Amino acid sequence: MDNCIFCKIVRKELPCNKIYEDEDLMAFNDIHPAAPVHFLLIPKLHIDSLAEIQDHHQNLLGKMLLLAPRLAKEQGCDDGFRTIINTGHVGGQEVLHLHFHVIGGRKRLPGMIHHQG
């Protein structure tokens, strides 16, 4: 994916503040953090969003879910964290390369979903 910014980060064509990398995954700090800890965990493989995942992505997705709490702890989230996967237009996804936001810090995060009346 030539013009995808996260693919460019994977290919080292754009810099990032990397916290993890292996053959399949990468994690780096969000450029506009929403809390003291805010990193993005991505597959190196370009997948547009969670809406596009296929059966053969099962191992990759499992690997991401297993890694998220480990990295969160390493980053200092000792008492919980929030994991967000924005998907598509309604979900507010801005970068069309699948990514998990992992967000935390010392204080409880604000409520996220505002219930309809």
Active-site amino acid positions: 99
For the bound state, the minimum distance from the C-beta of residue 46 to Zn ion, rounded and expressed in Å, comes to 4
Question: Residue 1 interacts with Zn ion (CB under 5 A)?
Answer: yes
Question: Residue 99 interacts with Zn ion (CB under 5 A)?
Answer: no
Q: What are phi and psi of 103, to 5 degrees?
A: -130, 135
Question: Residue 63 interacts with Zn ion (CB under 5 A)?
Answer: no
CB nearer ligand 5GP, residue 52 or residue 78:
52
Interface with ligand 5GP by CB under 6 A: which range of 19-27, 54-62, 90-98, 103-111? 90-98
DSSP 79-116: T--EEE---HHHHT--SSS--EEEEE-SSPPPP-PPPP
Of 88, 2, 95, 1, the residue nearest 42 (C-alpha): 95
CA distance 98 to 50: 6
CB nearer ligand 5GP, residue 24 or residue 30:
30
For the bound state, the minimum distance from the C-beta of residue 116 to ligand 5GP, rounded and expressed in Å, comes to 22
Helices (H), 33-95: 58-74, 88-91
Binding residues for Zn ion, per CB under 5 A? 1, 4, 6-7, 46, 97
